Structure 1
């Protein structure tokens, strides 16, 4: 893995982490195309670089993170399902992460869902995080578990989950951002532990690459979050749906035509 690979993957992470188009799916495909997907450090990097992106949420919404203790209780409740399922099915999740076909299918199916989600949930009553109940937070947490299937998108799953519980698009998106902080921090910590447990150690160059990648992801994610909220309020999810359908169809088409996108 070189600096060019780092820049490309970090930009992809920063742009896609909070959009409903699957950051993991995009990085799996990008690393596969660049021929580096099987490298254990690359697999770690694609998770660890998310730290930079989630720090952008803390900076942009720092006032929310300084408010009532109930805010953290709701985040913890919403985080618990992913923590439990992640621990129980970690090996199966890792196996799915090595399938580009899985990414293609879930991108395509998720795109179809996003075409209709604005019509399905068009009578929201919850406009702010403070009005989200603990039970609603738990239900959103279960929706987030769907993102363990590569290509689903953690953002898409949790936003759709929020909208299904009568949150507005903006409120659902913002709660998804907040929920990313404990979820992705835990995912990164586990990946670092697994990397160490498997006997790998970081070289000085690898540490530099991680730092550079996280800084780039942080800056790009700051821009992406602001742009996404503005776009979402005006246009909704249809464009993201069509994008996912096209990308998913291209991935599936390439694989069926014999192009090797597998990352084993």
Structure 2
């Protein structure tokens, strides 16, 4: 390096330790994809007994929970918050190994609780709609993990986990679309969709636990309606719609986002039914989105 006419020795760059936390997230993703292919009926080598049943937890509580909490911790640059992705990754590894009963789920739950603390900290620094949505999404992940920890079954936790992902993505898109002028009527429609989705998630678990199978399942239908409203709103008002007229990577990302909103709408339609195959198709469409 040349400085003031003298050749100075180049400074060594420190290896970012955050990369070390990214490695288990990638491994959990690969495990989750393997489990998903097994659920689809692919004749793959059996890495361990019951892996296919852990497809959902691996992708949400393991991979995405670790990745998103790591992203927030890196942005805030507070060392304590790195315990969130660390707890999620180690906890999911323990679940995979079947070590010490519920200890793995406990660590995942603690990681999600710390992520909620992170988001509450961000909301305190910047109290705006998109940060509130992001914090609400992290709270949904925490509630879903608590349901899992309480032994109520993954089927009752998965919709809360879905809310974690949907509100996180919607919150981030809302942040990026602030430069656009959104009519007041459209804002009302957006928050109506959020309210319908949130009410449906809250109603779904007690309905499934308390009411008989012949019940209408209002929670599922409200959730699907809310998702449909959000999918249409994002397709109409997200900045990605304008970016489709750009070139290169910007255009590619915009097209992918718009296709994602289509799949979100398809998932909303599938959410309205309550049979196991239909719910499986709903989840597949949602996470593809």
TM-score by length of 2: 0.28
TM-score of the two chains, using structure 1 as the length reference: 0.30
Q: Which has the larger radius of gyration?
A: 2
Structure with more relative contact order (C-alpha pairs < 8 Å, separation 6 or more): 1
